[in-house]
């Protein structure tokens, strides 16, 4: 009675108080749970970071830089490459290597690579003056290709820790000129000169092996594809001798890099953790409370990011099919997380989603690269067989063990590479991204997810003996 009397005097009934108590419980418990999770996130992030360090892997850009072995100046291809870029920029402002007007892009056409079509005459006439103007530049590229290792200097942008390599974005342009020289020499029947520059362009295509971020590896894979195109182009213009073919196969074999995706994920992890680490101690908000909330949310996102990389890293060293499957599963799980977090903008983790998209693209490109070099090596081995026996092998198994230790599998379906004999040559191919056998019909640059990944060699009267 006393309570009811007091309630009546204050104008507050029992039902409203019960409602307020209910609202407090309903909103308070989730708030306490979220607050507890956010408070725990910073401790979890610190513990997870320490565990990564104990495993021997880096967690900061500075640690990542030390993780890669230093290269002595006398062995470092980055030094003559830097000189070459300085020469090039003094001559003119080079166009991007993907510019469709760039002379090197003729190699993107399968019909021209296989010899079914000739180089357009106006394009051919532009080669010689282009290279003549850059003789000192090409000489530096050849010098760089002779050095056994490469490590570019890096810089740290303030706060983000982003690795910036001065040569990364210029790699296609750097390698493009030596590739152009090899193509021009092959088109003119200069077999030995073309062979020397093909070896150089293959080696130069791999100079970014020790660059830590996915973007560097993306540029590297593009450069390697261009080098492979040049080998196919030259092989359909001149006949290399057995020793030259053997050297090309050996040099290509050194490009195999099963840890490419692993190193890219480790590098990106350092980059993204550096970003979150910065936001975990600072904020753009004006009050201490909001800065603290911003820091805890950043730690929460960093832990979510580490959950993602923990699933991707072991898979990065699996076979191609398993690696792509795991990346797809992780990406789907992260997208579901983003949907659940979408009502709360602070918890939406766009960096993890961007990271996953980048890594999936890199894995797809790496599989294409693996398939491209596999068909190249096998086709060159078949050419060695032809030189020795007077005809192409009936089956690829005839190449083992005299010309290849073993036949590489198709990275897209795990099956043996396909092989077609023509009246005047052969095609070795992978089923490619769509895992559909198109009979060796190659994919094109504009739609690389369709068609096969093929390497064709033809022996027509137009092919010169050297």
Per-residue pLDDT at 98 exceeds 70: no
Is residue 387 within 8 A of residue 343, CB to CB? The reply is no
419 bridge partner residues = 428
- List pLDDT tens digits, range 135-167: 888 888 889 999 988 887 766 554 444 444 545
Of the listed ranges 2-16, 236-250, 302-316, the least confidently predicted one is: 2-16
Beta strands in 134-224 (DSSP E): 154-156, 163-165
Tell whether 145 is covered by a domain: yes
| Domain count for the chain | 1
Of 77-81, 231-235, 446-450, which gets the smallest average pLDDT? 446-450
pLDDT of 382: 97
For residues 227-248, give the mean pLDDT.
Answer: 95
83 or 216, higher pLDDT: 83
Answer yes or no: is pLDDT of 51 > 90.
yes
Q: Is residue 73 part of a domain?
A: yes
Q: What is the mean pLDDT of the chain?
A: 79
Is position 436 within any domain? no
**Residue 215: which of 276, 179, 267, 256 has the closest Cα?**
267
In a domain, residue 150? The reply is yes
Could you tell me if 199 and 222 are in contact, meaning their C-beta atoms sit under 8 angstroms apart? no
Question: Residue 448 above 70 pLDDT?
Answer: no
Round to whole Å and give the CA distance between 345 and 338.
Answer: 10
Flag whether 205 is in a domain.
yes
Query: Does 52 map to a domain?
Result: no
In a domain, 65, yes or no: yes
User: 343 or 219: which carries more pLDDT confidence?
Assistant: 219
Q: How confident is the model at residue 95, as a pLDDT?
A: 47
Q: pTM score, two decimals?
A: 0.83
pLDDT tens column, 253-287: 998 888 888 998 998 898 888 877 766 554 444 33
Handedness of CA 119, 122, 124, 130 (dihedral sign): negative
In a domain? residue 95: yes
Is pLDDT at 241 greater than 90 in this prediction? yes
Domain that holds residue 84: 58-238
């Amino acid at each position: 009675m006393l309570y009811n009397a007091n309630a009546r005097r204050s104008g507050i009934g029992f039902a409203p108080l019960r409602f307020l108590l209910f609202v407090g419980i309903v909103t308070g418990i989730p708030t306490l749970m979220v607050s507890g999770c956010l408070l725990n996130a910073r401790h979890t992030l610190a513990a997870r970071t320490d565990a990564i360090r104990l495993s021997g892997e880096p967690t900061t850009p500075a640690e990542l830089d030390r993780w890669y072995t230093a290269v002595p100046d006398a062995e470092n291809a980055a030094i003559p490459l830097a000189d070459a870029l300085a020469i090039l920029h003094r001559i003119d402002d080079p166009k991007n290597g993907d510019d469709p007007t760039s002379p090197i892009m003729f190699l993107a056409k399968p019909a021209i690579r296989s010899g079914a079509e000739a180089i357009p005459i106006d394009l051919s006439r532009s080669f010689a003056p282009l290279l003549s103007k850059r003789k000192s530049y090409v000489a530096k590229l050849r010098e760089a290709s002779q050095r056994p290792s490469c490590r570019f200097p890096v810089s740290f942008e303030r706060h983000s820790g982003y690795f910036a390599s001065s040569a990364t974005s210029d790699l296609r342009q750097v390698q493009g000129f030596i590739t152009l020289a090899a193509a021009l020499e092959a088109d003119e029947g200069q077999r030995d000169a073309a062979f020397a520059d093909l070896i150089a362009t293959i080696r130069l295509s791999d100079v970014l092996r020790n660059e830590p971020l996915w973007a560097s590896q993306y540029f590297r894979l593009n450069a390697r594809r261009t080098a492979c195109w040049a080998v196919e182009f030259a092989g359909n213009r001149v006949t290399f001798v057995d020793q030259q073919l053997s050297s090309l196969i050996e040099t290509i074999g050194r490009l195999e890099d099963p840890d490419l995706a692993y190193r890219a994920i480790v590098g990106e992890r350092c980059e993204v953790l550096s970003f979150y680490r910065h936001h975990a101690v600072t904020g753009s908000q004006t009050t201490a409370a909001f800065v603290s909330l911003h820091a805890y949310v950043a730690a929460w996102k960093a832990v979510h990011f580490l959950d993602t990389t923990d699933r991707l890293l072991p898979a990065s060293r699996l076979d191609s099919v398993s690696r792509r499957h795991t990346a797809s599963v992780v990406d789907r799980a992260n997208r579901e997380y983003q949907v659940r977090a979408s009502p709360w903008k602070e918890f939406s983790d766009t960096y993890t989603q961007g990271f996953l998209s980048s890594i999936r693209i890199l894995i797809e490109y790496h599989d294409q690269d693996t398939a491209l070099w596999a068909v190249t090596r096998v086709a060159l081995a078949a050419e060695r067989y032809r030189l020795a026996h007077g005809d192409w092998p009936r089956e690829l198994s005839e190449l083992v063990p005299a010309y290849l230790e073993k036949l590489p599998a198709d990275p897209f379906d795990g099956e043996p590479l396909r092989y077609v004999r023509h009246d005047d040559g052969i095609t070795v191919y992978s089923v490619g991204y769509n895992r559909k056998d198109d009979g060796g019909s190659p994919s094109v640059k504009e739609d690389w997810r369709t068609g096969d990944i093929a390497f064709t060699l033809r022996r027509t009267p137009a092919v010169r003996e050297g």
